[in-house]
Structure 1
Amino acid sequence: MSAKQQHPFHLVELSPWPILTAFSLLFVTLGVVFLMHGHSMAEYFSIFGGGAVIFCSYHWWKDVIKEGRVGHHHTEKVRMGLRIGMALFILSEAMFFFGFFFSFFLARFFPAGILEGLWVTGEGLWPPKGIQTFDPWDIPFMNTLILLLSGTTVTWAHYAITQNDQRNSVMALGITVLLGIAFTAFQAYEYHHAAFKLTDGIYAANFYLATGFHGLHVIIGTIFLTVCYFRAKNGHFIGGNGHLGFEFAAWYWHFVDVVWLFLFVFVYVLGR
């Protein structure tokens, strides 16, 4: 199937990676559930599942890259379908954060609610008594600047790729990856020095769920861009080879940037 496709359909060879990835994620889920219940097998399930996910993801991505570069399966019609799929995926991720923000705003504006018997909050009092919030103009503001700068560097990389400038595209992607790592490191430091824990009430639960889920997206986006960095070093995106993989990574990273701006304004600044 090495000849260039002439039809508009995304027909590729059968792959074992979707089903293997599904079972790997099942082991990760079981590990987390066992961990919550203090089961002795939790660590083994989590480590095996996590390692299997990484293994399957690596080979699955490798096959997708080969489909486009060697098999020439990614015709214009196929690329359009893949773009629609990525857009719908990002939209589904946005719905996750919509739910988190809805929960936060509900607790913020109506602090005495259905959880009053479990997590006591005073009427009109937010954050609840005993919660010492973060200073938004310290690490959160620094992380905001880091993500905004990373948005400019990933745009720089995109421009360099469109100009067939491999040197600058590699440099810009490398800087973006380092900025993503820096953001994660600062957030880990912030969590380590937090004055409240996940179990300290409805404010803490909403805070860690929203910011932690975003932090997970930053880690995934950093991995995505790291793959693009090594592909750019190998010249995959220049000379008319196409750059659909990088395009999706850039979309995802800009989504992460925008979500953080909402988190910074509504959770860190206005949520104090």
Structure 2
Amino acid sequence: MGSEKDVLVAAAVFLFALISHSEGIVGGREAAAHSRPYMASIQVPEGENMKHECGGFVIADQWVMTAVHCMPTGPNGRKVVLGVHSLSEAEETKQTFDILELHNHPDFRESNYDNDIALIKLDRPYTTSVAIRPVEFMRQGGTNPGNDAEVETAGWGSLDNLGSRPDKLQEVTVDVVISALCRRSDYFGSKFTANMICAQRVCPQPCDQLYKKQDTCDGDSGGPLLFNGTVVGITSNGGRKCGQLKKPGIYTIISHYTRWIDGILGLQPDPTPEHSD
């Protein structure tokens, strides 16, 4: 029979295994370090330190895309950190930037988070590395994911509704939910507009009691929703609690804003009309 020490070690290993497989955005997992080199951490001053507040993603030299509701009244001392996996550990890959310009979409509606898209110009160009690279985003005319399509998202947001925050980047795979459902009164009703896509993965039937709903949560806002490696949405909002059955995560459809994006970035705007809700 093993010693008491052996029993304690075995119990610790078992507990660690359980924790390791349950961590995530909500029901997700830790991403491989720097496997998503476009990810950005938008951080707010907290005393002498900086604290992660929202996500974002690199789309071009010196430009990061995020959500308006992350900074509705301006940068106010916030910084953008690229090349980060662990928020607390010193990583040689990290590059920290001041916000030179913030462009919040002029039609953002605080009442329902419609047009929740913003562009950040960093105070200087970033140095491209294996840990910092831009990601392609869906433009007007592209094909957005259909119902039940698998999409991915990532962030440093809460792991649960108690507000537990991870130190390292988390990722999760979810499924696009039919828009007609999200417009139902028992989901989001009129709050859900044609500029939004909703996604969530819920417990399959028959439901395993240990199964965790998979969803984005507080602190993931501004992060990317990807379909086949292309960003199609921006994490925007959802239910009051994360992972609720009839309150999927809501994401801003980026392809609806191609001309606005091109205008801010100084690119030639597309002459065809954009979708408007």
Do both share a fold (TM > 0.5)? no
| TM-score, length basis structure 2 | 0.23
The structure richer in helix per residue is 1
Flag the structure with more relative contact order, 1 or 2, with Cα contacts below 8 A and sequence separation at least 6. 2
| TM-score, length basis structure 1 | 0.23
